[in-house]
Chain A
Amino acid sequence: MPAFQAKDAKQIGEVIAWAAAEEQPLEVRAGGSKRALGRPMQTEHVLDISALSGITEYEAPELVLTAGAATPLAEIDAALAQKNQMIAFEPADWRHLLGADGTKPTIGGVLACNLSGPRRIKAGAARDHFLGFQAVNGRGELFKAGGKVVKNVTGYDLNKLYAGAYGTLGVLTEVTIKVLPKPETVRTVLVPCLEDTTAIEVLTEGLNSPHEVSGAAYLPPNITRRSQAGTVAQSQGGVALLRVEGPEPSTAYRSEQLTDMLGRYGPAALLGESETERLWEALRDVRLLAEPPDRYVWRLSVTPSRGASVACDIARSVDAEYLLDWGGGLIWVSISATAPDAGADAVRTAVRTHGGGHATLVRAPENVRAAVSVFEPLPGPLAALTARVKEGFDPRRILNPGRMYAGI
């Protein structure tokens, strides 16, 4: 597909102004690692912004970093690591899941898709760390919103709107994010659990304790075997996993307290530094459900206490495997490639039955993503409001049109 390779924000503005005048839809691309995410688009042109790369401001004690939107995440992680800091929302890396190994995820892409990992329960989502930006709207105008400080309520919080808009409201050119110190130590408490519902109890008890749990996941027996973390792989049944992070005396104390507290569910084990890191990275990147690659993969956000019931309902009606994160609030489901409508009906009915939430079809072939609602369908008034918001930013509907919803 023909690509415009813009070298700066001004050229992005020129391309978009042209596309708006000619009503030519554009696919906006930087690293290209998430092209298989969302609905397929009917675009004649690609707007490649990968030249807008590089960290422009970073002073560790200010907890703020500014970079070109197409700066590779790896470059930002490396700069932060030198100052013992990190992007706290634990951006997920779905390259393997989406068959995009070898591409370079960028900070703009992560923010535009609001991708957050297991630490979302404690640190917040990508949207919570997005402080300010410059972008080009669908009229080709360069504008800015937010600021470069961690606390700001000046004007509408357009950062929230752009996080998770999948590039349909504008093209980010420069972004400012909040960064935080990296925890000195990290441990995981593993509690064997035979039943999904018991697992939810364990995770809830951990999350409701004062021990500041920063990861709370459950792997059913069929999933534990695939883990790279030895202790998990060796466990005979399902496991509930609770992560604690902080200075050494603190993680030592908290993991011990959690072990004691949850001991009545079964003999708890303590995972050390490297096993903990491997384990939560695998969870973050959905490694345990990535194979075989022809299965559909869904991501569900639900009321945490209902997580096990939702998963159970789905597994009753289609051939499904699953694991739980966020204390039960995040469910990853892999469904057989033979399931009708990619399992959408089973998934969305289960979510509706158990207090609501939403489901996203993260992995499916293009023709399926064209036929099945990839993102949760919106009720009438909300869909109409969404269309009016799109109109306000991209009146000609030329930026990633249809990526989220038809007509948006």
Chain B
Amino acid sequence: MVAMPAPDQAVLTRREEIIAALRQIVPGEGVIDTVPERRAYETDGLTAYRQLPMVVVLPSTTDQVSQVLRYCQQNNVKVVPRGAGTSLSGGALPLEDGVLLGMAKFNRILEIDIPNRCAVVQPGVTNLGITTAVQDQGFYYAPDPSSQIACTIGGNIAENSGGVHCLKYGLTTNNVLGIEVVLMNGEIVRLGGKYFDPPGYDLMGVLTGSEGLLGVVTEVTVRLTRKAPTARAILLGFPTSEEGGKCVADIIAAGIIPGGMEMMDKPAIHAAEDFVHAGYPLDVEALLIVELDGPAPEVDHLIAKVEEIAARNGAVTSRTSRNEEERQLFWAGRKAAFPAVGRISPDYYCMDGTIPRKALPLVLARMREMSERYGLGVANVFHAGDGNLHPLIMYDANKPGELERTEEFGADILRLCVEVGGVLTGEHGVGVEKRDLMDSMFNETDLAQQQRLKCAFDPNGLLNPGKVFPKLHRCAELGRVHVHRGQLGFPDLPRF
């Protein structure tokens, strides 16, 4: 288990005083200090980690957020921001000596602006809530993480959330036009608006995906996308993952960027089919769902091309959806893959690496070896278009030592992703979960540079500490400039 920073005893001793001061800023039920009520906030989507926060604060205005952060900065109190608490990497894991800043009361859609294809919303609005508000007008908000019914747009910005359609439609960062953000010193900064590419440094871009370490978002302007008139899916089965992978590569090499392209391995296919009876073939090693969306003539044209590419790559099953109901059925199994695995195993642990797609067969083979070595089953779902792999490790938390073994297995998988040229996380974030693996991808200089950015936003390291970075450095130490006067290293080069 990853260890969190040691609590500040001075802060814990002053707990009552701090709570009283917070009540001055956020009156009434906005400050929660009883144990049973705080219990509701002790974990997020990474349930293996639990910690009761010192106090929970639920502000309802930007001004309150600003005052809370300023107070905490002045009093050296740590703050952990939280949206809906669906993070799979422990991004919202509380601290024993920290304020848990819940943004749930920021739940209003402020403006829908169809002529400018955008909406202005508060950060506690759910991802799906935005789509629901604009779908009558033929629009939707494109990034669709699987938690979209519950997760909030503020949390999506913190994590730069993706979804199954992001190869074609982008991640959160590609679909946000503006944010209002409160810094740890209480200052309120607006970045962007209803126009493209804010002036100066792209601080909105760097806040997106910063996992709640740089600021607290209090307002968001998102881009809206026109819904495609037609979507059809093809269900393809392959005898080997190599053939499935080759098919994916050939589709892209043919110039086709599908709206969605998902692959499942045999254990995932079986779990999903047993659960939802989507009609998946059970005798294949790899199942591929390719969805084409757009105007009907384009979709029909591309479906035919994909069918042909699949046949050339040895697909033994090839079924094209004939209507909306059938398309939904093809997806039903994939969408239920996580709970389906949850049905056949007491617990499962969802990993999230990205690999160059060509490395898929190698990664799957190595993962099978590891699975045997650790004595733990694994099922794989794969965003095949962008190489984002979600291995689901099956374990039983009630068996002593099995969670620890699962975490080790997961860490080995992620190191493997990095080894083949990929990355530790494609969409779930580093959080607590992958914090101590950061040095498998970045060296000390890389990490120090990232932390110097943090210092520009939060010089005392009070906002969400213990996440993302394996070692906490003081900003004074990081900021020191070591001057080495001396000879320039290449006097022989032509210069003056």
Contact = CB atoms under 8 A, between A and B. Distances in A.
A137 B195 contact: no
A303 B190 CA distance: 16
Contact of B495 (A2, A355, A375): A2
A155 B387 CA distance: 18
A222 interface: no
Given A211-B295, A357-B193, A389 B203 contact: yes
A315 to B, nearest CB: 20
A375 to B, nearest CB: 6
Interface in B465-496: 468, 479, 481-486, 488-490, 493-496
Interface in A359-407: 360, 375-376, 378, 381-382, 385-386, 388-389, 391-393, 395-396, 404-405
Nearest to A62: B356
A257 B294 CA distance: 14
Given A62-B358, A154-B441, A303-B194, A210 B493 contact: no
Interface centre among B301, B302, B488 (most CB of A within 10 A): B488
Interface stretch (B50-58, B341-349, B448-456): B448-456
A326 to B, nearest CB: 7
A405 B253 contact: no
Given A148-B356, A151-B387, A152-B423, A158 B116 contact: no
A330 interface: yes
B448 to A, nearest CB: 8
Contact of B197 (A127, A391, A405): A127
B358 A157 contact: no
B456 A21 contact: no
Interface in B171-196: 171, 173-174, 183, 187-191, 193-196
A208 B109 CA distance: 21
Interface majority SS (helix, strand, loop, mixed), chain B? loop
Contacts of A181: 252, 254-257
A182 interface: yes
Contacts of B446: 143-145, 155
Contact of A21 (B426, B430, B447, B484): B484
A329 B493 CA distance: 47
Given A14-B490, A209-B226, A210-B229, A151 B388 contact: yes
Interface string A138-177: 0101111101111111111111110111000100000000
Contacts of B485: 21-22
Interface string A304-333: 110000000000000000000010011000
Nearest to B469: A155
B423 to A, nearest CB: 4
Contact of B193 (A125, A152, A355, A392): A355
A326 B447 CA distance: 38
Given A210-B138, A355-B194, A381-B188, A163 B183 contact: no
B187 to A, nearest CB: 4
Contacts of B190: 382
Interface in A198-213: 204, 207-212
A253 B297 contact: yes
A20 B249 CA distance: 46
Contacts of A2: 495-496
Interface of B: 114-117, 138, 159-160, 162, 166-167, 170-171, 173-174, 183, 187-191, 193-206, 208-210, 226-229, 248-250, 252-257, 294-298, 300-302, 354-358, 383, 386-388, 421-430, 434, 438, 441-443, 445-450, 452-457, 468, 479, 481-486, 488-490, 493-496
Given A120-B196, A208-B117, 20 more contacts: A2-B496, A11-B490, A21-B484, A59-B356, A62-B357, A64-B356, A127-B202, A143-B446, A150-B387, A151-B427, A152-B425, A153-B171, A155-B430, A156-B209, A156-B210, A208-B138, A210-B229, A249-B298, A249-B301, A388-B455
13 contacts: A5-B495, A18-B488, A21-B483, A62-B387, A151-B386, A154-B438, A160-B173, A165-B202, A303-B116, A356-B195, A378-B199, A392-B453, A396-B481
Cβ-closest 10 pairs across A and B = A160-B205, A250-B298, A181-B255, A14-B489, A392-B452, A61-B249, A388-B456, A376-B199, A358-B199, A2-B496
Interface of A: 2-7, 10-11, 14-15, 17-18, 20-22, 59-64, 83-84, 114, 116, 120, 124-125, 127-128, 137, 139, 141-145, 147-161, 163-165, 169, 180-184, 204, 207-212, 246-247, 249-250, 252-254, 257, 301-305, 326, 329-330, 355-358, 360, 375-376, 378, 381-382, 385-386, 388-389, 391-393, 395-396, 404-405
